[in-house]
Structure 1
Protein backbone atom coordinates (compact mmCIF):
# COMPACT_ATOMS: atom_id res chain seq x y z
CA UNK A 1 0.00 0.00 0.00
CA UNK A 2 2.74 2.40 0.92
CA UNK A 3 4.58 1.62 -2.30
CA UNK A 4 1.57 2.63 -4.38
CA UNK A 5 1.31 5.99 -2.62
CA UNK A 6 5.01 6.61 -3.12
CA UNK A 7 4.70 5.70 -6.80
CA UNK A 8 1.78 8.09 -7.28
CA UNK A 9 3.67 10.86 -5.49
CA UNK A 10 6.76 10.36 -7.63
CA UNK A 11 4.64 10.38 -10.78
CA UNK A 12 2.94 13.64 -9.80
CA UNK A 13 6.26 15.27 -8.98
CA UNK A 14 7.76 14.11 -12.28
CA UNK A 15 4.80 15.41 -14.29
CA UNK A 16 5.00 18.73 -12.44
CA UNK A 17 8.72 19.11 -13.14
CA UNK A 18 8.23 18.31 -16.83
CA UNK A 19 5.40 20.84 -17.07
CA UNK A 20 7.48 23.49 -15.30
CA UNK A 21 10.34 22.97 -17.73
CA UNK A 22 8.40 22.68 -20.99
CA UNK A 23 5.08 24.47 -20.36
CA UNK A 24 5.37 26.85 -17.39
CA UNK A 25 2.36 28.82 -18.63
CA UNK A 26 0.08 25.89 -17.72
CA UNK A 27 1.16 25.91 -14.09
CA UNK A 28 1.25 29.67 -13.59
CA UNK A 29 -2.19 29.95 -11.98
CA UNK A 30 -2.50 26.41 -10.67
CA UNK A 31 0.38 26.45 -8.17
CA UNK A 32 -1.33 28.98 -5.87
CA UNK A 33 -4.37 26.71 -5.65
CA UNK A 34 -2.16 23.73 -4.85
CA UNK A 35 -0.28 25.59 -2.15
CA UNK A 36 -3.55 26.73 -0.58
CA UNK A 37 -5.14 23.32 -0.74
CA UNK A 38 -2.16 21.19 0.29
CA UNK A 39 -3.46 20.75 3.87
CA UNK A 40 -6.89 19.41 2.91
CA UNK A 41 -5.35 17.28 0.16
CA UNK A 42 -2.93 15.66 2.61
CA UNK A 43 -5.74 15.08 5.11
CA UNK A 44 -7.94 13.53 2.43
CA UNK A 45 -5.15 11.22 1.27
CA UNK A 46 -4.44 10.15 4.86
CA UNK A 47 -8.13 9.39 5.45
CA UNK A 48 -8.33 7.34 2.27
CA UNK A 49 -5.15 5.43 3.11
CA UNK A 50 -6.44 4.71 6.62
CA UNK A 51 -9.80 3.46 5.38
CA UNK A 52 -8.15 1.22 2.78
CA UNK A 53 -5.76 -0.10 5.42
CA UNK A 54 -8.67 -0.83 7.78
CA UNK A 55 -10.52 -2.58 4.96
CA UNK A 56 -7.59 -4.90 4.27
CA UNK A 57 -7.13 -5.56 8.00
CA UNK A 58 -10.79 -6.52 8.27
CA UNK A 59 -10.32 -8.96 5.39
CA UNK A 60 -7.39 -10.56 7.21
CA UNK A 61 -9.44 -10.96 10.40
CA UNK A 62 -12.44 -12.50 8.65
Structure 2
Protein backbone atom coordinates (compact mmCIF):
# COMPACT_ATOMS: atom_id res chain seq x y z
CA UNK A 1 0.00 0.00 0.00
CA UNK A 2 2.82 2.38 0.89
CA UNK A 3 4.55 1.74 -2.43
CA UNK A 4 1.38 2.53 -4.35
CA UNK A 5 1.01 5.87 -2.56
CA UNK A 6 4.63 6.75 -3.27
CA UNK A 7 4.19 5.79 -6.92
CA UNK A 8 1.05 7.93 -7.25
CA UNK A 9 2.80 10.87 -5.57
CA UNK A 10 5.81 10.61 -7.88
CA UNK A 11 3.52 10.37 -10.93
CA UNK A 12 1.58 13.48 -9.88
CA UNK A 13 4.76 15.45 -9.28
CA UNK A 14 6.18 14.36 -12.63
CA UNK A 15 3.00 15.28 -14.50
CA UNK A 16 2.91 18.65 -12.74
CA UNK A 17 6.52 19.42 -13.67
CA UNK A 18 5.90 18.44 -17.29
CA UNK A 19 2.78 20.64 -17.43
CA UNK A 20 4.65 23.57 -15.89
CA UNK A 21 7.39 23.28 -18.48
CA UNK A 22 5.36 22.59 -21.61
CA UNK A 23 1.81 23.87 -20.92
CA UNK A 24 1.77 26.42 -18.08
CA UNK A 25 -1.52 27.83 -19.38
CA UNK A 26 -3.32 24.64 -18.26
CA UNK A 27 -2.14 25.01 -14.67
CA UNK A 28 -2.93 28.70 -14.46
CA UNK A 29 -6.62 28.10 -13.75
CA UNK A 30 -6.17 24.95 -11.66
CA UNK A 31 -3.49 25.82 -9.12
CA UNK A 32 -5.75 27.92 -6.88
CA UNK A 33 -8.25 25.05 -6.69
CA UNK A 34 -5.45 22.65 -5.76
CA UNK A 35 -4.05 24.92 -3.07
CA UNK A 36 -7.51 25.48 -1.63
CA UNK A 37 -8.38 21.81 -1.56
CA UNK A 38 -5.16 20.52 0.02
CA UNK A 39 -6.43 21.08 3.57
CA UNK A 40 -9.74 19.22 3.19
CA UNK A 41 -8.03 16.40 1.29
CA UNK A 42 -5.47 15.93 4.08
CA UNK A 43 -8.19 16.06 6.75
CA UNK A 44 -10.35 13.56 4.91
CA UNK A 45 -7.40 11.22 4.43
CA UNK A 46 -6.50 11.42 8.14
CA UNK A 47 -10.09 10.62 9.11
CA UNK A 48 -10.16 7.60 6.80
CA UNK A 49 -6.83 6.28 8.11
CA UNK A 50 -7.98 6.77 11.71
CA UNK A 51 -11.27 4.93 11.14
CA UNK A 52 -9.50 2.06 9.38
CA UNK A 53 -6.93 1.75 12.16
CA UNK A 54 -9.70 1.79 14.79
CA UNK A 55 -11.52 -0.92 12.86
CA UNK A 56 -8.44 -3.14 12.83
CA UNK A 57 -7.78 -2.47 16.52
CA UNK A 58 -11.34 -3.51 17.35
CA UNK A 59 -10.84 -6.69 15.29
CA UNK A 60 -7.71 -7.51 17.34
CA UNK A 61 -9.53 -7.09 20.67
CA UNK A 62 -12.52 -9.19 19.59
TM-score under structure 1 length normalisation: 0.71
Deviation string 1:14-62 (CA, Å, 9 cap, x unpaired) is 00000000000000010011001101112233444x266678x59xx7x
- The 5 A counterparts of 1:43-62 are 43-48=43-48, 50=49
Question: Any unmatched runs of 5+ in structure 1?
Answer: none
Flag the structure with more relative contact order, 1 or 2, with Cα contacts below 8 A and sequence separation at least 6: 1
When the two chains are superposed, the root-mean-square deviation of aligned CA atoms in Å is: 2.2
- Which residue in 2 is equivalent to 1:15? 15
Report the structure number with the largest CA radius of gyration: 2
Count residues in correspondence. 59
Distance in 1 between residues matched to 2:41 and 2:13, nearest whole Å = 15
Distance in 1 between residues matched to 2:20 and 2:12, nearest whole Å = 12
Alpha-carbon deviation of 1:11?
Answer: 0.3
Question: Any unmatched runs of 5+ in structure 2?
Answer: none
Distance in 2 between residues matched to 1:3 and 1:54, nearest whole Å = 22
